[in-house]
Amino acid sequence: MAAVILEARGLTKTFGGLRAVDGVDFDLRRGEIHALIGPNGAGKTTFVSLLCGRIAPSSGTIRFEGRDITRLPAHARVRLGIAYTFQITSIFPRLTAFENVAIAAQRLGSRGCEARARAVLERVGIAAEAGARAGDLSYGHQRLVEIAMGLALEPRLLILDEPTQGLANAEVDRFAALIEGLAGGATILLIEHNMDLVMRLAERITVLDGGTKLAEGAPEAIRADPAVRAAYLGG
């Protein structure tokens, strides 16, 4: 079994009287594709926002590669190798697709960021759009620019929040092939409603419901779990 790259223990986030995330224990194994699923309002986005440092937990701990990062801000976690793409696009609309990705690459502080930006745009299948203003691209292509920005950071952990939202079927297939190609080299946490894609890509799945962990396991076990079927999958 692969070593654990990230672990959360007792992770909790309250907003007033609401417990959006309630005492969740969670492990990510190095090099795996791990999916996080659950009904709307289950706490998925709050949970990954805690992992990437966008918000601070009310209680609990997070460790990344053995280091306590519970109170580290998001930008410090990026430097450690954690990249997070948002559920809603977070590009610079007035800049070109290439400039968006090059800016992300520059955050590594190393040379060759322009070459890396071009290579990543090619990898996600939108090299032809490199010179286009990002704000003028289709929503699906804007999502691909954002994924390219995440990849340009050369992360050890890539968190993808609803990455296929707005993508055409052919683009979803290309995305799946991209993620399969990344497997092993980076750990990927995928928050996704497309269950066919989740079942295709994920080695393990965690199900949240009401801010708590309802189930966790291999895709076939999750698909057969009565509690998961009742809360989310239906039937």
Per the model's pLDDT, the better-predicted residue between 102 and 85 turns out to be 102
* Rounded Cα distance, 178 and 174, in Å: 6
Task: Please give the model's pTM, rounded to 2 decimal places.
Answer: 0.89
Assess contact for 43 and 214: CB atoms under 8 A. Answer: no
Q: What is the pLDDT of residue 109?
A: 65
**pLDDT above 70 (res 45):** yes
Q: Is it the case that residue 229 has pLDDT exceeding 60?
A: yes
Phi, psi (rounded to 5 degrees) for 72: -75, 140
| Percent of all residues in the chain with a pLDDT value above 70, rounded to a whole number | 95
pLDDT of residue 61 exceeding 80, the answer is yes
pLDDT in tens, 92-135: 999 999 999 999 888 766 667 899 999 999 988 899 999 999 99
Taking residues 2-26, what's their average pLDDT?
95
Is the torsion defined by CA of 70, 72, 77, 78 positive or negative?
positive
Helix (H, G, I), strand (E, B) or coil at 56: coil
Q: What is the pLDDT of residue 110?
A: 61
Distance CA 60, CA 71 (A): 11
Using pLDDT thresholds of 50, 70 and 90, give the confidence band for residue 89: low
Q: What angle do CA 225, 231, 233 make, to 5 degrees?
A: 65
pLDDT at 107: 75
